[in-house]
A and B are shown apart, each in its own frame.
Chain A
């Protein structure tokens, strides 16, 4: 005996499979699966952008950008400070010859950073098998951060040592 034809919304269909559609993202997602950029990624972009805008706005409302006296080549401030991201370089400069601290070291760091993907032949991306690369990068990173913090906050007149909680000479 033939089965009754299946009718769905007035149309005869071969069958109805329960579950999730084969395309789109209305199914249970797994790690390697794709999701639609709209809305999932674009909404995250928007939220991140608004959060950053809010932070910048709040900081800008509550803290004024510095503006000292008008530039005067006759009056040298003590200490002379570079912007914070060059404070590490300036700290290095106080220990070594400018050719070394100002040209050779930053030049080598930049060239080394550019060459990194070609020097690191290890194809693995897991931290445990990348001990040498991770250690090297981390040493540079920590050294740079320490130098920057020292140059930024711990140096005062004549580039002498100061404690930032007693005398503040950091400039932004």
Chain B
């Protein structure tokens, strides 16, 4: 008796799923060759379509050289850097909901993340350690590319874009360092921005533009917050787009030695 009911429910569910899966809506969302499409079969043609008929085609060609998928060649460092950027964006958006960039609120808000926000402490920790890890992985990626001589023609310009991406990564990390507004943040940024004061001729002006004041104050928090959550991410996404596009246009990742 119970089995009969279970079977009936299963049958109904399958039939409803079949209707949804094959509906015009689902068909319009999933392009030909999508592995999520009804009746997908694993053929070479469909394997091509998965990429070609998909937004992924902006990132990947249908086929890559065999060495390109080998973990021991790239160590996946560029991809890991990109993934960490995505992770930092997601955790960063979460943190923005609980943070106000003022001298009065910043520290209290960050403190409250560990006392009164669900998963607040975990997400902040992920953001902090993920950021350090991204600096490390970008740095290692650059070293890997150097030792493989992968900056040589026709990839010279993509190396230059990569150096800019490293700088932007450091700037993103450093602007984020100020935001908790604790002693660590204040004095690390004081040390860092004092150096800018030694820029020849325009030193004081550069420092003032960086701090929005003559020393690190609440105005600096707002300035660095906007740079951290909006300006630098915007710029780095543009450079990343160029970087990934050039990887493909320069003939995919460099060949094995």
Question: Nearest-CB distance from A172 to chain B (Å)?
Answer: 6
Contact B173 A56 (CB under 8 A): no
Interface hits, B112-131 → A, CB 8 Å: 114, 121-122, 124-130
CA distance A55 to B50 in the complex (A): 29
Describe B's contact surface by its main secondary structure: helix
Contact A36 B47 (CB under 8 A): yes
Which residue from chain B places its CB closest to the CB of A113 in the assembled complex?
A: B163
- Apart from A25-B44, A36-B62, what are 10 other A-B pairs with CB-CB below 8 Å? A32-B66, A48-B76, A67-B110, A68-B184, A71-B185, A82-B192, A90-B191, A103-B199, A117-B153, A172-B132
Most buried by A among B60, B129, B180: B129
Interface hits, B20-68 → A, CB 8 Å: 35, 43-44, 47-48, 50-51, 56, 60-68
Ordered by A's residue number, 21 sampled pairs between the chains whose C-beta atoms are within 8 Å are: A24-B47, A34-B63, A35-B65, A35-B69, A48-B83, A49-B79, A53-B87, A64-B125, A67-B184, A68-B184, A83-B177, A86-B192, A98-B195, A99-B200, A101-B195, A102-B195, A117-B152, A120-B151, A133-B149, A134-B147, A172-B128
Binding site for B on A (CB under 8 A): 21, 23-26, 29-42, 44-45, 48-49, 52-53, 55-57, 59-61, 63-73, 75-77, 80-86, 89-90, 93, 97-99, 101-103, 110, 113-114, 116-118, 120, 123-127, 130, 133-134, 137, 141, 171-172
B167 interface residue, CB < 8 Å from A? Answer: yes
Contact B149 A33 (CB under 8 A): no
Which residue from chain B places its CB closest to the CB of A39 in the assembled complex?
A: B47
Q: A32-B65, A71-B186 given as contacts; is B159 within 8 A of A116 (CB)?
A: yes
Contact B148 A125 (CB under 8 A): yes
Question: Nearest-CB distance from A5 to chain B (Å)?
Answer: 28
Contact A31 B256 (CB under 8 A): yes
CA distance A73 to B216 in the complex (A): 8
Q: A56-B87, A65-B125, A86-B174 given as contacts; is B198 within 8 A of A103 (CB)?
A: yes
- Closest 8 pairs between A and B when the two form their complex, measured CB to CB: A24-B44, A102-B195, A125-B149, A117-B156, A60-B125, A34-B63, A65-B128, A71-B186
Q: A37-B61, A99-B200, A126-B257 given as contacts; is B129 within 8 A of A81 (CB)?
A: no
CA distance A28 to B203 in the complex (A): 63
CA distance A40 to B51 in the complex (A): 12
Contact B192 A77 (CB under 8 A): no
Question: Nearest-CB distance from B198 to chain A (Å)?
Answer: 4
CA distance A52 to B194 in the complex (A): 35
Binding site for A on B (CB under 8 A): 35, 43-44, 47-48, 50-51, 56, 60-69, 71, 76, 79-80, 83-84, 87, 103, 107, 110-111, 114, 121-122, 124-130, 132-133, 135, 139, 143, 146-153, 155-157, 159-160, 163-164, 167, 170, 173-174, 177, 180-188, 190-192, 194-200, 215-216, 254, 256-257
CA distance A49 to B79 in the complex (A): 8
Contact B156 A118 (CB under 8 A): yes
Which residue from chain A places its CB closest to the CB of B44 in the assembled complex?
A: A24
Contact A59 B195 (CB under 8 A): no
Most buried by B among A66, A71, A86: A71
CA distance A81 to B182 in the complex (A): 13
